[in-house]
Amino acid sequence: MMYRALLLITVFIASIASCKKDEEKEPYTPTPLKITRPAGFPEMVIPADNPTTVEGVALGRKLFYETLLSANNTMSCGSCHNQSLAFSDNGTRFSTGIDGVQGTRNAQAIINLGWNRFYFWDGRAATLEIQALEPIENPIEMHNTWANAISKLKSAKTYKDDFYKAFGTEEFTKEHAAKALAQFMRTMISYNSRLDKRLRSEINLTASELNGLSIFISEKGDCFHCHNIDAGRLLTDNQFHNNGLDSIFTDLGLAEVTGNPSDIGKFLTPTLRNIALTAPYMHDGRFQTLEEVVEHYNTGGKASATVDPLMKHVGTGLSLTNQEKIDLVAFLRTFTDETFITNPDFSNPF
């Protein structure tokens, strides 16, 4: 009897306590975050169903560095996307996943992706929200299931709060996690390189860098057609091109997605921002240095059925002098943005 009474009282107290907890729960009032558009940049298109909020970005940052997302709790997005190297993978040609298995493509840097319209080297994801779903279940990356990842997050107490604050629900799903990751990645904006400062007339470039600039933006080097400076300063045209790396293709690039033979060997033009930090280069990381990249373009590249018409010097080459090659590399190095790689907002919060 005594025992039953005690039990009843306990249940009663517990239910008051839980009522109290519900009343005390703060209402869901996420704080809108306006992503500031740096001077000269285009408008960023943000999906209507995933507006940026302070709480969403904070959650996305935690998830980006959360090893619980991988099957054996050892790997996070940040393992392969390292801030000090502009979120590229530690100088490795191919990333190694949790099972020690390597992929066949070089990890892309994560820079100014809010302006992109395609993601991955072959453009197979149309939004950052779709992109962010992939690494968790990719067998050569985090090799987990989303169901498992979400259930691990739900048992880590703080995430119920974090998701509630960001999305108004404790019953969160992989779609909420992907939305938070996408919000965080949209804030990862680089706009403070020496090139930017020059474009804002804050500094001058050296004579060598200026000569590199003129090669880059003239017919002499022809780089600007695909790595645009003027049209938004993104240093990419967001299009797919075959820039003459091969004449026989093992990785079909865009054609892996479209199945269209005229897309064979075409890859998404990468931004050149922070390029001095993101070696090795190209979709398969075949070049170790910027000098090797410039030499590739200088020789004109290899002919094939799909080589881009903008690669006008295939077979003949650009015929740059040694000094011009040095100047072009010096110019590429002006894209490095120290503020971006040291910004505490993008760092590991744990």
Please compute, for residue 292, the number of CA atoms within 13 A of its CA located in the half-sphere on the CB side: 11
Choose the binding region for ligand HEC from 7-15, 37-45, 306-314, 342-350 (rule: CB under 6 A).
306-314
Pick 15 or 288: Cβ nearer ligand HEC = 288
Q: Is 81 in the site for ligand HEC (CB under 6 A)?
A: yes
Run of H or E residues at 241: strand 240-241
Q: Give the CA radius of gyration of the chain.
A: 24
Pick 93 or 165: Cβ nearer ligand HEC = 93
191 pairs with which residues across the strands? none
Q: Is 144 in the site for ligand HEC (CB under 6 A)?
A: no
Q: What is the nearest approach in angstroms of ligand HEC to the Cβ of residue 5?
A: 52
Q: Which of residues 256-275 bind ligand HEC (CB under 6 A)?
A: 267, 269-270, 272, 275
Q: How far apart are CA 134 and CA 154, in angstroms?
A: 20
Choose the binding region for ligand HEC from 37-45, 103-111, 148-156, 333-341 (rule: CB under 6 A).
103-111
Q: What is the nearest approach in angstroms of ligand HEC to the Cβ of residue 225?
A: 5
**Region for residue 173 given its phi and psi (left: phi exceeds 0; alpha: psi -120 to 50; beta: otherwise):** beta
Residue written as tokens 């107490």?
157
Binds ligand HEC (CB under 6 A): choice among 241, 302, 313, 325: 241
Q: Is 335 in the site for ligand HEC (CB under 6 A)?
A: no
Residues 6 or more apart in contact with residue 264 via CB below 8 angstroms = 242, 249, 252, 253, 254, 255, 304, 305, 306
Binds ligand HEC (CB under 6 A): choice among 223, 252, 264, 341: 223
Q: What is the nearest approach in angstroms of ligand HEC to the Cβ of residue 202?
A: 24
Q: How far apart are CA 115 and CA 130, in angstroms?
A: 15
Q: Is 77 in the site for ligand HEC (CB under 6 A)?
A: yes
Beta strand 240-241 with 267-268 is antiparallel
Helices (H), 25-83: 54-64, 77-80
Q: What is the nearest approach in angstroms of ligand HEC to the Cβ of residue 103?
A: 5
Q: Is 330 in the site for ligand HEC (CB under 6 A)?
A: no
Residues 6 or more apart in contact with residue 95 via CB below 8 angstroms = 80, 89, 102, 103, 106, 107, 140, 141
Pick 181 or 234: Cβ nearer ligand HEC = 181
Q: What is the nearest approach in angstroms of ligand HEC to the Cβ of residue 146?
A: 11
Q: What DSSP line would sit under 127-186, residue for residue?
A: SHHHHHHHHHH-TTTT---HHHHHHHHHHSHHHHHHHHHHHS-SS--HHHHHHHHHHHHH
Residue 32: cis peptide before it, omega within 30 degrees of 0: no
Binds ligand HEC (CB under 6 A): choice among 82, 108, 112, 144: 108
Binds ligand HEC (CB under 6 A): choice among 50, 82, 243, 306: 243
Query: Is residue 259 classed exposed, middle or buried when 0-12, 13-18 and 19+ CB atoms within 10 A define those classes?
Result: exposed
Binds ligand HEC (CB under 6 A): choice among 193, 278, 306, 336: 278
Count residues near ligand HEC (CB under 6 A).
49
Answer positive or negative: Cα dihedral of 151, 114, 223, 252: positive
Q: What is the nearest approach in angstroms of ligand HEC to the Cβ of residue 55?
A: 18
Using CB under 6 A as the criterion, which residues of the chain lie in contact with ligand HEC when the complex forms? Answer: 75, 77, 79-81, 95, 97, 103, 105, 107-108, 110, 113, 119-121, 131-132, 135-136, 141-142, 181, 185, 221-223, 225-227, 241, 243, 245, 267, 269-270, 272, 275, 278, 281-283, 293-294, 297, 308, 310-311, 328
